[in-house]
Amino acid sequence: MKDKQQLEQLLRSFYLSGFVQHYDDFAKRAEKEKLGCLKYLHQLAQAESDLRHNRRIERLLLQAKLPRGKTLDGFDLSEQPSLSLVHLRELAEGDCLDHCENILIFGIPGTGKTHLSTALGRAWCLHGRRVLYTTAATLVQDLLTAKRDLLLNQFIKKLDRYEALIIDDISYIPHSRDETDVLFVLLAERYEKRSVVVTSNLAFSGWESIFKDPMTTRAAIDRLIHHSTILELNGTDEESYRQKEATRRKRSRHHNDPPELTKH
C-alpha cells in the first residue's frame, strides 16, 4: 500500500496523471494476458498521450468561445447548393491556416454564416488549432478599451496567438472613426500573418458604411481578399433557414394536432 502511495506521488510529481489513472488496471490486465513489461509500459504511455491530447482539445474548445452546438455534420448542404462538401472538408482540415488564408462568408441574415464559421472553428480546434470566435461588435469594444488603456499593441499581439480569428457580423456598423480605425489596424496587423474568418450580411459594395471612407474600405478589402476563400450562402430561395425551420415546425405541429371536434 505504501509502495503504491509513493509511486502515485512520484507519478503525480511528473504530472503523469494518465499513468496514475491506469497503472493498476493495466498491470492486472498485463499479468492476466502475459503482455510483458515493454507492452505494459507502451500501453501506459499511450494512455497518457491520449489523455493529454483530449485535455488539449478541451482547452482549445473552451478558449475558442464558440457558440455551442454548431458542427459541420449539422450543416445541411442541400440548403446551399453553391457549397461543396469536399471543399468544406478541405477547409476544415486547417491547411488554410498554415498559409494564413482568410475565409469570407457572405449571405443574408439566417443563411448559416454564424453556423458555418463556428463549425469550421470547431473542426480546427479538434485538429489542435488555436481559434477565437468573437462578434465584430465585441471585438471593436475590446480593441477600444485596449487603446484607451494604451495596450492596443499588446492586445493585438495576444490575438496573434490564435491561428484563426473568427469575426462574426462585420457588417455591424461602427459608430465612430475610432471604432473603424482599431478594426482596420487589427486587419492590417494580421495580414499575411494569421487567418481571419469574416462573416457579413453586406456585399463588398456596401462596406463603405463599415470603414467610412473609400480608401480605408479598399485597403481593408484588399488585405482580406488577397489570400482568401469566399463562400456565398445564398440558399435555395429568399427564405432564411430560420424561417424555413419555423414553417417546418408549424407544419409538423398542424400534422400532429388532434382532429377538430365537430359539433353535432
Binding site for ligand ADP (CB under 6 A): 70, 74-76, 79-80, 107, 109-115, 241-242
Using the contact rule CB under 5 A, the part of the chain among 15-23, 83-91, 96-104, 107-115 near Mg ion is 107-115
Instruction: Specify the residue, 74 or 259, whose C-beta has the smaller distance to ligand ADP.
Output: 74
Using the contact rule CB under 5 A, the part of the chain among 48-56, 66-74, 78-86, 108-116 near Mg ion is 108-116
Residue 114 as a binder of Mg ion (CB under 5 A): the answer is yes
What is the smallest separation between the CB atom of 234 and ligand ADP, expressed in angstroms? 11
Cβ neighbourhood burial of 182 (10 Å; 0-12, 13-18, 19+): buried
Instruction: Specify the residue, 11 or 105, whose C-beta has the smaller distance to Mg ion.
Output: 105
Instruction: Specify the residue, 102 or 114, whose C-beta has the smaller distance to Mg ion.
Output: 114
The CA–CA distances, whole Å, from 13 to 6, 8, 17, 19, 147 equal 11, 8, 9, 12, 42
Instruction: Specify the residue, 17 or 201, whose C-beta has the smaller distance to Mg ion.
Output: 201
Report whether 18 contacts 48 (CB < 8 A). Answer: yes
- Contacts of 62-66 with C-beta under 8 Å, sequence gap 24+, read 63/130, 63/131, 63/132, 64/121, 64/122, 64/125, 64/130, 64/131, 64/132, 64/133, 65/132, 65/133, 65/134, 66/118, 66/121, 66/122, 66/125, 66/131, 66/133, 66/166
What is the smallest separation between the CB atom of 233 and ligand ADP, expressed in angstroms? 7
What is the smallest separation between the CB atom of 67 and Mg ion, expressed in angstroms? 9
Query: x/- site string to Mg ion, residues 63 to 102, per CB under 5 A?
Result: ----------------------------------------
